[in-house]
Structure 1
Amino acid sequence: MRRVYLDHNATSPLRPEARAAMLAAMDALGNPSSVHSEGRAAKAIVEKARGQISEAFGVGAHDIVFTASATEAAALALKDRGFHAGDIEHDAVAAWVQPDLPLNAGQVCVTEPAQTALQLANSETGIVQTLPASLGFCDMTQGFGKLPLAFSWSGADIACA
């Protein structure tokens, strides 16, 4: 029987271009914070990636903060901020919010956007949330690369992907 892999929301095979870029970066030797030539070369790789990500999200390169994962990014953005959310958020976000907002047909009912955390798209149900203006936090992880989006369109103060 031929198997078909359908869990691309969790992990997908790398595109050849991404694999080549990762291998090239891994072969670069140097601390991007160092001023020697190896450090400057490593910093150039980081800044090229920052530029590509900022372009993809429609923000300035200075707005991009790299973390090890979306889980770490959510913790950095949400810890001790008192955000509210629906009980459908990914565990990475749910750990840092109060899951007290009601749902209506899978959509989170937002009353105070500035104090609300919403995921753009749910990886299990496929529901895409309607994002209100002045949203406090948006988890764009599952929407990136699948939905047309830009941070500037989201109306969120902070987002992760």
Structure 2
Amino acid sequence: MTDQVYLDYNASAPLCDDAKQAMIAAMDVAGNPSSVHASGRAARKIVDHARRTIADLVGGDSERIVFTSGGTEANNLALNGLEDVTVFTSAVEHPSVIEARPDAKRIPVDANGVIDLVALETMLKDASDAGQKVLVSVMLANNETGVIQPVAKVGLLAREYGAKVHCDAVQALGRLPVDMNRLLVDMVSISAHKIGGPKGVGALAIAPGVMLVPQIRGGGQEKYRRGGTENVVG
């Protein structure tokens, strides 16, 4: 058999032509985006354009888009970047969430894999009564089952009890509307290779008022949220 029909888009989508052409064009730009000379400014222009595009895509602020090496790093930054928080995650999250915070408290799900909002409210109330700061992490679309979680309802509950919400929207982007304002979340993780972009590129969108401690240090890139020279081609 010489022809192959590729169907595994949930694992990784083929690189689309628009992304390929943009990457080829970026390969001709040699500058470091942090440099102030002409080549550096040309590279910075590419990164800034991408940042604005991503912000428009998820309803965020371009100044608060952090580029990462993928959805896994974005999830790790979201879950470990807030100091002195108790983390709640659903019992059916992606391993990059589950393993990023093995100390997290698990929110139960029903027989269909949908988060138990009553149980979540009880957990939030108990944490609030104990004076704990909480981060709730719930994915929008499950990477194994496709189940859609009621993220906006999670956001409403979290706001009632002063908690923050992170949403892993990696599998949802390009298939469902992803608007962090309508979802009532404080952070959203996305990944390029699920929607026709290159592998090894992701982003974390952060709402105003969320201050993250960088997990990768060694430079002032990404407004001191993630050190390292930006991946201009990605």
Q: Is the 8 A contact 1:85 1:108 kept in 2?
A: no
Does the alignment pair 1:85 with 2:92?
Answer: no
Map 1:1-161 onto structure 2 (within 5 A).
Answer: 3-79=4-80, 81-97=85-101, 98=104, 100-104=106-110, 105-109=112-116, 110-111=120-121, 112=124, 115-131=135-151, 132-133=154-155, 134=159, 136-161=165-190
Matches of 1:100 and 1:49, distance apart in 2? 35
Which one-letter code corresponds to 2:176 in the other structure?
L
Which one-letter code corresponds to 1:139 in the other structure?
D
Matches of 1:26 and 1:68, distance apart in 2? 18
Q: Which has the higher contact order (CA 8 A, sep 6+)?
A: 2
Q: Supply the RMSD in Å over aligned alpha carbons.
A: 1.8
Which one-letter code corresponds to 2:88 in the other structure?
H
Range with bigger deviation, 125-134 or 2-11: 2-11
TM-score normalised by L of structure 2: 0.64
Which one-letter code corresponds to 1:73 in the other structure?
A
- In the TM superposition, residue 126 of structure 1 has moved relative to its aligned partner by 0.5
Q: Which runs of 4+ in 1 moved over 6 A?
A: none
* Structure 2, unpaired ranges of 5+: 126-133, 191-234
- In the TM superposition, residue 117 of structure 1 has moved relative to its aligned partner by 0.6
- Per-residue Cα deviation, 1:84-126 (whole angstroms, up to 9, x for no partner): 1122110101113325211112111232395311010011100
Q: Is the 8 A contact 1:32 1:40 kept in 2?
A: yes
Give the count of matched residue pairs.
161
Which one-letter code corresponds to 1:4 in the other structure?
V
- Per-residue Cα deviation, 1:39-65 (whole angstroms, up to 9, x for no partner): 000000000101111111111211211
* Structure 1, unpaired ranges of 5+: none
Percent identity, aligned pairs only, is 39
TM-score normalised by L of structure 1: 0.92
Partner of 2:194: none
Range with bigger deviation, 84-93 or 99-108: 99-108
